[in-house]
């Protein structure tokens, strides 16, 4: 027997957010902010290189002027790189300045020349533990993003939601304990970013989203998995063009209590990055409403 066919109500258009990677080939952050405002997209999630290019204070001013919500900052992490500590400190400061709902952690892959996956994973857990006090103090929730297993060597050797939640457990961010501390329903200090591209295949997806619960579900990223996929990194699809059952995954998230943004993040060198960003944004709006 197949799982019941859950078709939730259409998503709230106010929850749509633009991860600026989606249009980064043609627009800087200032243009992205104006574009979101022009298209009635209420959330934005910038990347730090674009933030540096615009200047943090200028970005804060423009985002505030347009009344946008910063649904995340991309990215901290890379705990297996040399300068990880200073870089994550700066990322926390920037996320704080932006009032970002979370700092997304892409945790890093194997160190150069290493095959020691278990060792890298321990290094990552210890790195997160090391920056957690500063994140707490700054009021910046840290969202561990499990990346697709095909990125294990190069970008992140946290590759399943279960593994990310085990790290949350190991670092003492017990869900019930934290609820007692901060009041049920509040956003936790440490949790996960659920990107459908990375986790859609996972047989334990529903179970682990339920396990995470509202406090640990800090971000929800959407796009689609294309068949065929021509590149391991930059061939993501627009919602509706691939095989991911987006309404089903959203209903898992909502069932676990998630009521945050739906952030579109599309790396697409061959297709969407080549198009007029205004067309990309109106397509995102349309597909979000109809296909997710």
Which residues of the chain form contacts with a second copy (CB under 8 A)? Answer: 1-3, 110, 114-119, 121-122, 148-150, 152-154, 157, 159-160, 162-163, 166, 200-203, 225, 227-229, 232, 242-245, 248
Task: For the CB of residue 44, give the shortest distance to a second copy in the complex, in Å.
Answer: 29
Residue spans of alpha helices (H) in 141-276: 161-170, 175-182, 196-199, 205-216, 246-255
The CA distance from 205 to 97, in Å, is: 33
Give Cβ neighbours of residue 45 (< 8 Å, ≥ 6 apart).
17, 18, 19, 20, 70, 71, 72, 73, 74, 100, 104, 261, 263, 265
> Do residues 56 and 94 make contact, with C-beta atoms less than 8 angstroms apart?
yes
Q: Which is nearer to a second copy, 140 or 249 (CB)?
A: 249
Burial 41-53 (b: 16+ CB within 10 A, else e): bbbbbbbbebbee
Q: Which is nearer to a second copy, 58 or 154 (CB)?
A: 154
Q: Which is nearer to a second copy, 98 or 192 (CB)?
A: 192
Q: Which is nearer to a second copy, 183 or 203 (CB)?
A: 203
Task: For the CB of residue 212, give the shortest distance to a second copy in the complex, in Å.
Answer: 16
Task: For the CB of residue 30, give the shortest distance to a second copy in the complex, in Å.
Answer: 33
Q: Which is nearer to a second copy, 85 or 230 (CB)?
A: 230
Task: For the CB of residue 222, give the shortest distance to a second copy in the complex, in Å.
Answer: 14
Q: Which is nearer to a second copy, 8 or 119 (CB)?
A: 119
Task: For the CB of residue 209, give the shortest distance to a second copy in the complex, in Å.
Answer: 14
Task: For the CB of residue 121, give the shortest distance to a second copy in the complex, in Å.
Answer: 7
Query: Which is nearest to 11 in space by CA: 186, 279, 258, 237?
Result: 258
Q: Which is nearer to a second copy, 60 or 291 (CB)?
A: 291
Give Cβ neighbours of residue 255 (< 8 Å, ≥ 6 apart).
209, 210
The CA distance from 177 to 193, in Å, is: 21
- 267, burial (CB in 10 Å: exposed 0-12, middle 13-18, buried 19+): middle
Task: For the CB of residue 25, give the shortest distance to a second copy in the complex, in Å.
Answer: 20
């Amino acid at each position: 027997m197949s799982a019941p066919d859950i078709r939730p109500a259409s998503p709230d258009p106010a929850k749509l957010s633009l991860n600026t990677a989606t249009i980064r080939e043609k627009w800087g952050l200032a243009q992205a902010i104006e574009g979101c405002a022009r298209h009635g997209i209420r959330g934005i999630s910038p990347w730090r290189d674009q933030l540096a290019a615009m200047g943090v204070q200028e970005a804060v001013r423009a985002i505030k002027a347009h009344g946008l919500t910063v649904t995340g900052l991309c990215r901290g992490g890379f705990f297996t790189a040399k300068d990880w500590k200073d870089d994550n400190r700066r990322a926390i400061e920037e996320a704080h300045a932006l009032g970002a709902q979370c700092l997304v952690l892409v945790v890093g892959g194997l160190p150069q020349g290493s095959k020691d996956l278990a060792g890298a994973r321990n290094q990552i857990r210890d790195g997160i533990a090391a920056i957690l006090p500063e994140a707490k103090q700054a009021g910046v929730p840290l969202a561990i993003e499990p990346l697709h297993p095909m990125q294990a060597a190069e970008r992140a050797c946290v590759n399943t939601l279960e593994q990310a939640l085990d790290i949350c457990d190991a670092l003492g961010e017990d869900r019930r304990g934290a609820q007692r501390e901060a009041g049920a329903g509040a956003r936790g200090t440490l949790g996960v970013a659920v990107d459908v591209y990375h986790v859609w295949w996972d047989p334990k997806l529903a179970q682990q989203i339920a396990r995470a619960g509202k406090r640990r579900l800090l971000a929800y990223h959407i796009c689609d998995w294309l068949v065929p996929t021509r590149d391991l990194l930059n061939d993501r699809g627009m919602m509706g063009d691939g095989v991911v059952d987006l309404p089903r995954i959203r209903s898992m998230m909502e069932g676990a209590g998630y009521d945050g943004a739906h952030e579109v993040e599309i790396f697409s060198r061959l297709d969407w990055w080549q198009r007029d960003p205004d067309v990309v944004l109106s397509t995102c709006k349309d597909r979000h409403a109809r296909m997710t």
